């Protein structure tokens, strides 16, 4: 099989891969860059929650991939299937090989739908839906509009998952819709986690939001099976993994997630299957000419587009320093942002960094849901995203701050 060679090979044409490619081309237009990405379309996935809540049009979340491949970068429309880092080589699905001087792995995260027994057979019908699917997000809104009574379940699997606030975003959008329609729905949130959120101040605030809606929250509950026609969800509960069956009229499912299989089986993976990187500079722990970005890495940041926006200039700066023989000094503090929709016109803007540091971008208590943040989520962030993957990152003003133990007045 033929072997091609490029100065920089980027695996993945999602938010991370395109943002890094655009940053590199912006600073060094002469670089020889190849992007390995099989998909013909690019998706703005953060808006799928809004689609499920009836506040966004699904077609606006998809654009042609070719529009965002940087000029003069080579687009290789294939799937990478293996890495041979000792030979600086990537193996593609057709058996051909790509050699590189520098590699950037931005392969995203894998949605493991088949780990929930019966889910594949019933997803998109029988009241079983998921905003983690382009095909199903509109069905979520259909389910909300079609149910006038009964029980609605919303689930969250064990971490890590991409956009860890998304399971709650649709929970609150649904509760808000039912409340405004005057419907007495039994709305429940079943999470495999031990709290509402991974950062304590926001967890406390979101528990208050759930309380304001009168939602039933169950912790340590992991969904393992769905019987769509029978309207039964089966959970494993606690360390003993006892089985619990719960009836439903509709259920929103978030699938278990992991690094892609071809990464888990590669020399780049750590013991848990993620690309093993230094959490500050995103360089591989064993191979100095490999960097990674986004959901596929071992870095303990929240897997969000906001994290990618911060990491892209770090990876590109350090990679360019390697090329020119300079010292690579760019560093990432773990910043991520999760705009949690607490209703159809308010958002709690959860911003944080490594080790639970609270890092808001705006004045005021970030735990207070605000209409201004809804406008940010609904209008500004989609516009910023499409600019980000084209190389325009926008302003950054997050800064660490201490919060009072006392919650602000929370009205979702």
Known catalytic residue: 296? no
Active-site residue (options: 136, 163, 296, 350): 163
Would you give the DSSP letter of residue 192?
S
Q: Which of 41, 79, 52, 238 is CA-nearest to residue 145?
A: 52
Residue 86 has phi, psi (to 5 degrees) of: -65, -25
Q: What tokens were used for 295?
A: 């959901």
d(CA 81, CA 89): 11
Known catalytic residue: 163? yes
Element (H, E) at 151: strand 151-156
Q: Are 268 and 290 in contact (CB under 8 A)?
A: yes
d(CA 228, CA 233): 8
d(CA 208, CA 140): 25
Tokens 């039912």: give the residue.
178
Burial 288-309 (b: 16+ CB within 10 A, else e): eebbbbbbbbbbebbbbbbbbb
Q: What tokens were used for 194?
A: 């031990």
Q: Are 171 and 215 in contact (CB under 8 A)?
A: yes
Q: Is 359 helix (H, G, I), strand (E, B) or coil?
A: coil
Q: What share of the chain is helix, strand, coil (3-state, %, to 5)?
A: 30, 25, 45
Active-site residue (options: 143, 296, 338, 350): 338
Catalytic residue positions, numbered: 163, 338
């Amino acid at each position: 099989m033929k072997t091609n060679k490029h100065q920089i090979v980027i695996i993945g044409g999602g938010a991370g891969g395109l943002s890094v490619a655009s940053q590199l081309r912006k600073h060094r237009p002469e670089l020889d860059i190849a992007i390995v990405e099989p998909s013909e379309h690019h998706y703005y996935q953060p808006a799928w929650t809004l689609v499920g809540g009836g506040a966004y049009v699904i077609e606006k979340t998809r654009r042609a991939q070719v529009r965002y491949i940087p000029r003069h970068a080579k687009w290789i429309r294939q799937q990478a299937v293996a890495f041979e880092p000792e030979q600086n080589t990537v193996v593609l699905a057709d058996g051909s090989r790509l050699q590189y001087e520098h590699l950037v792995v931005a392969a995203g995260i894998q949605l493991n739908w088949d780990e929930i027994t019966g889910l594949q057979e019933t997803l998109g019908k029988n009241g079983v839906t998921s905003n983690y699917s382009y095909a199903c997000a509109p069905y979520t809104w259909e389910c909300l509009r079609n149910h006038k009574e009964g029980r609605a379940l919303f689930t969250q699997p064990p971490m890590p998952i991409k956009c860890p606030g998304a399971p709650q975003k649709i929970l609150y959008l649904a509760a808000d819709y039912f409340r405004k329609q005057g419907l007495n729905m039994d709305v429940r949130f079943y999470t495999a986690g031990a709290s509402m959120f991974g950062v304590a101040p926001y967890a406390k605030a979101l528990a208050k939001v759930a309380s304001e809606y009168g939602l039933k929250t169950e912790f340590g509950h992991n969904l393992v099976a769905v019987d769509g026609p029978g309207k039964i969800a089966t959970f494993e509960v606690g360390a003993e993994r006892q089985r619990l069956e719960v009836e439903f009229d509709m259920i929103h499912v978030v699938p278990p997630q992991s690094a892609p299989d071809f990464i888990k089986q590669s020399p780049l993976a750590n013991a848990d299957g993620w690309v093993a990187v230094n959490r500050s500079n995103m360089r591989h722990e064993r191979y100095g000419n490999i960097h990674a970005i986004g959901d596929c890495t071992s870095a303990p940041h929240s897997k969000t587009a906001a994290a990618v926006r911060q990491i892209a200039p770090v990876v590109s700066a350090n990679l360019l320093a390697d090329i020119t023989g300079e010292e690579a000094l760019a560093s990432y503090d773990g910043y991520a942002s999760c705009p949690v929709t607490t209703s159809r016109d308010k958002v709690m803007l959860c911003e944080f960094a490594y080790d639970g540091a609270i890092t808001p971008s705006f004045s005021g208590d970030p735990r207070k849901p605000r209409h201004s943040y809804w406008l940010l989520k609904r209008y500004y962030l989609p516009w910023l995203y499409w600019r980000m993957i084209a190389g325009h990152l926008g302003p950054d003003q997050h800064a660490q701050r201490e919060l009072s133990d006392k919650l602000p007045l929370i009205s979702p």
